Structure 1
Amino acid sequence: MTANMGNIDRSVRLVIAVILLGVAFGTSWLGSGILFWLALIVAAVFALTALIGHCPLYTMIGIKTCQDHA
């Protein structure tokens, strides 16, 4: 599994994950229903892909935001 995400992309995903977790656990905006769980799932996926540097969706559609090191 090769990296296909650049540092900016990874950083933005981590920030979005933290915001989603903050909204889910720190406010009552989402309640405890489907929006709460959806926010947790999206936050987990964003955090995981940011930490490993690989996005399977990017691979499927041919996007690569990292620079090639030749």
Structure 2
Amino acid sequence: MQKNLSSLDSRLRIVLGAVAGLAALAVLFDGVAAPGRYAAYLGVASVGLLANGLTSRCGIYRLLGVSSRD
């Protein structure tokens, strides 16, 4: 699959993925009062965002025929 994310898009996804990962850990270790399943949701979102950002590829963009690449 071709790269289809711009450098800005990739960086934003990496930052959002890191924030989601930290939020998942906060929920998991009772730093935030929320149901435990939220940790799983945030963890999955974190992994997806980090994978997209680090590889500069987005499967949804590919399916839609969209590219933010320069």
Q: TM-score range by the shorter chain?
A: 0.7 to 0.9
- The TM-score, its normalising length taken from structure 1, stands at 0.84
- The TM-score, its normalising length taken from structure 2, stands at 0.84
Answering whether residue 64 of structure 2 is matched by residue 66 of structure 1, we say no
Provide the identity percentage.
15
Alignment of 1:1-20 (within 5 A): 1-20=1-20
Determine the structure 1 residue equivalent to 2:24. 24
**Superposed displacement of residue 29, structure 1:** 3.9
RMSD: 1.2
Gapped regions of structure 2 (runs ≥ 5): none
Gapped regions of structure 1 (runs ≥ 5): none
> What SS is found at the alignment partner of 2:39?
helix
Give, in whole Å, the separation in 2 of the partners of 1:12 and 1:39: 16
- Say whether the 8 Å CA contact 1:17–1:47 is kept in structure 2: yes
Question: Which segment drifts farther, 37-46 or 18-27?
Answer: 18-27
